[in-house]
């Protein structure tokens, strides 16, 4: 195996290893790298080249997907620091957060029962605000305070919010169509 595979995702795209990244620079680096190794470039190439191109293109896409999503990026940074976010196993969340979750669920269920799409859209907006807030927390926990425990908790909270977002979207689609 080539040494390239030991490179972390940030190094692959020539980016600093931190949570706050320049997404435009990420996009452009990904497109440049993807253009170099995309299997379309090797359709009439030799078999060895085709195999390698598939592996490289896969790797470049995986790195991009990981860095593009704030949650995945944070999870990856924690993993590089040797911290497991334990999203499947660690279910102990602060009581206030769990309380807020229940309220969210009730609000979604009420709006759905009342067939109120506008209300659901408003909830979705509000949720986006909460997500932004948590992502800011995540940035300061990772880049400034190096507080891994706080960052891992923020990742777990964001997972809850992702599920809420999914529910709201499903409810809207169920009502509209």
Applying CB under 8 A, the residues found at the interface with other proteins are 2, 4, 12-14, 25, 28-29, 31-40, 43-49, 51-58, 60-62, 64-65, 169, 173, 176-177
Instruction: Tell me the closest approach of the beta carbon of residue 112 to other proteins, in angstroms.
Output: 16
Our CB check for other proteins shows the closer of 53 and 141 to be: 53
CB 61 → other proteins: shortest distance, Å? 5
Taking the complex as a whole, the smallest distance from the CB of residue 147 to other proteins amounts, in Å, to 29
To which residue do tokens 């309380």 refer? Answer: 99
Nearer to other proteins, 24 or 113 (CB): 24
Reading the block at residue 119, the tokens are 């209300």
Q: Which residue has the tokens 């692959």?
A: 12
The single-letter DSSP state of residue 116 is: -
In terms of Cβ atoms closer than 10 Å to its own Cβ (0-12, 13-18, 19+), residue 75 is buried
- Which class for 94: exposed (0-12), middle (13-18), buried (19 or more C-beta within 10 A)? exposed
The Cα 82–Cα 27 span in angstroms is: 27
CB nearer to other proteins: pick between 32 and 90: 32
Whole-number minimum distance, CB 13 to other proteins, in Å? 7
C-beta of 55 vs 93, nearer to other proteins: 55
């Amino acid at each position: 195996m080539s040494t390239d595979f030991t490179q972390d995702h940030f190094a692959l795209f020539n980016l600093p290893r931190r949570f706050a990244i320049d997404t435009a620079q990420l996009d452009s680096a990904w497109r440049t790298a993807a253009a170099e190794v995309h299997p379309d470039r090797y359709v009439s190439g030799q078999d060895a080249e085709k195999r390698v191109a598939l592996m490289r293109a896969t790797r470049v896409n995986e790195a991009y997907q990981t860095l593009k999503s704030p949650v995945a990026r944070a999870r990856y940074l924690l993993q590089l620091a040797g911290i497991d976010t334990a999203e499947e196993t660690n279910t102990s969340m602060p009581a206030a957060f769990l309380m807020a979750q229940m309220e969210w669920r009730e609000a979604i269920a009420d709006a759905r029962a009342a067939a109120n799409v506008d209300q659901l859209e408003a909830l979705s907006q509000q949720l986006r605000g909460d997500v932004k807030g948590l992502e800011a927390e995540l940035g300061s926990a990772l880049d400034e305070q190096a507080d891994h425990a706080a960052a891992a908790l923020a990742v777990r909270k964001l997972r809850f919010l992702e599920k809420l977002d999914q529910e709201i979207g499903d409810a809207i689609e169920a009502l509209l169509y």
